[in-house]
Amino acid sequence: MLTAAIQNCAVLLLPKLFFTYFILYVTLPKITKDDVEIRTGIFYSTLALLAALLLYRALLIYFIDPIIYSWTVNVPSYFDLFGFLVALMDIGFASGAAIAIKQVRLRLAGKEIERNLIREKLETELKYLRSQIHPHFLFNTLNNIYALARKKSDETPEVVMKLSKLLRFMLYETAKPCIRIGDEIKMLDDYIELEKIRYGGRLTINFLREIDNENEQISPLLLLPFVENAFKHGASESRFSSYIYMQMQLQNRILNFNVENTKENNQRQDINENIGLRNVKRQLELMYKEYNMQVQNEPSIFKVCLTINLANHAKI
């Protein structure tokens, strides 16, 4: 009896497969186009369902009952209404389940494609933001070299060498999604030494740091714009003695980085006009889920306070 039941299910699978594949590969592709195709798809689906029901009843009456079960008496009529309702429910359940599973798979695949597109877009934007830092930094540093060259300073070759070292870092290290914070600090130290040569004794620089783990990972070139901004809009526009005060603290993967510089421009420049800080703010939005950046733009002092939870680094 079990063998007969299995044979019964296998035979009746034919109309179910016919209707299911018709819906999946004929009707659904049509109804996603326009209203005319929708009406056409519904019409052909109705015909396919009718054909599947007729085939279902034919297999049951003329093959399954007399051959598999060897029923020769009390054979139901081919056009029995109750039999067609049973066939409709059987085909409808099987095809409905198959179509639902197919649609779920398509939806999941579509979401995966969407996530990949978003990730590629964010990666492209992040690379673009980082690439903006390079010419911005290079432009400022070349101005420094130009000023030293005009003075015929003996320090010009040393500045060129330090610039080469920094550009090598930017070329090879910034392609990585993250670097050691110790390497980021070393790059900042090299940049500060480069700027010290230009400003000499009229600029006081303090860079205090308290790091509990120099191997902690951080997005490359994330802190440079703050330091660069302090030199560009502070010391370079100051005619008299000025200072830049920097403080970095890393404790339990929480990074606090403060940069304060004097300025003689008493106009309260809108922070949104600063390309470097606007750039780094967008990088923070892309790379870190928990961060806080506060800007104090006073008549004679400009200060940026940054706090980042490095543990919550976003995976792009």
Q: Could you tell me the sign of the dihedral formed by the alpha carbons of 127, 133, 134, 136, in that order?
A: positive
The token pair at 115 is 């996530």
Is the pLDDT assigned to residue 107 strictly greater than 80? yes
Q: Cα(188)–Cα(221) distance, rounded to whole angstroms?
A: 9
Q: Which pLDDT value is given to residue 249?
A: 94
Q: Structure pTM? A: 0.58
pLDDT tens digits along 20-38: 888 888 887 776 666 666 7
* C-alpha–C-alpha distance, residues 156 and 144, integer Å: 9
Span 270-292, pLDDT tens digits: 544 566 677 788 888 878 888 89
CATH number at residue 155: 3.30.565.10
Question: How far is 199 from 148, CA to CA, in rounded Å?
Answer: 10
Mean pLDDT of 74-91: 82
Per-residue tokens: 307: 């706090």
**Which residues have C-beta within 8 Å of that of residue 92, sequence separation ≥ 6?**
none
The SS3 of residue 87 is: helix
Q: Which of 90, 113, 136 is the last residue of a domain?
A: 113
Q: Are both 153 and 272 inside the same structural domain?
A: yes
Q: Are residues 171 and 245 in the same domain?
A: yes
Residues 165 and 262 reside in one and the same domain: yes
Shared-domain flag, residues 9 and 109: yes
Q: Tell whether the model's pLDDT for residue 130 goes beyond 50.
A: yes
pLDDT (tens digit per residue) in 146-205 = 776 777 777 777 777 777 777 777 777 667 778 899 988 988 988 888 777 777 667 888
pLDDT number for residue 246: 93
Give 177 or 244, the one with higher predicted confidence: 244
HEC per residue, the chain: CHHHHHHHHHHHHHHHHHHHHHHHHHHHHHHCCCHHHHHHHHHHHHHHHHHHHHHHHHHHHHHHHHHHCCCCCCCCCCCCHHHHHHHHHHHHHHHHHHHHHHHHHHHHHHHHHHHHHHHHHHHHHHHHHHHHHHHHHHHHHHHHHHHHHHCCCCCHHHHHHHHHHHHHHHHHHCCCCCEEHHHHHHHHHHHHHHHHHHHHHHEEEEEEEEECCCCCEECCCCCHHHHHHHHHHCHHHCCCCEEEEEEEEEECCEEEEEEEEECCCCCCCCHHHCHHHHHHHHHHHHHECCEEEEEEECCCEEEEEEEEECCCECCC
Q: How confident is the model over 68-94, as a mean pLDDT?
A: 80
Mind listing the pLDDT tens digit for each residue in 40-49? 777 888 888 8
Based on the domain organization, do 290 and 211 belong to the same domain? yes
Write down which residue in 77, 95, 113 finishes a domain.
113
Q: Does residue 257 carry a pLDDT above 70?
A: yes
Residues 49, 104 within the same domain: yes
Please state the domain count of the chain. Answer: 2
pLDDT above 70 coverage of the chain, percent: 76
- Domain extent, residue 303, equals 122-309
Reported residue count of the chain is 316
Residues 108 and 130 in one domain: no
pLDDT given at position 314: 63
Q: Examine residue 314 and state whether it is found in any structural domain, yes or no.
A: no
Residue 251, pLDDT score: 92
Whether 250 shows a pLDDT value over 80: the answer reads: yes
Of 89, 113, 137, the position where a domain reaches its end is: 113
Distance CA 113, CA 108 (A): 9
Rounded to an integer, the average pLDDT of 69-78 is 71
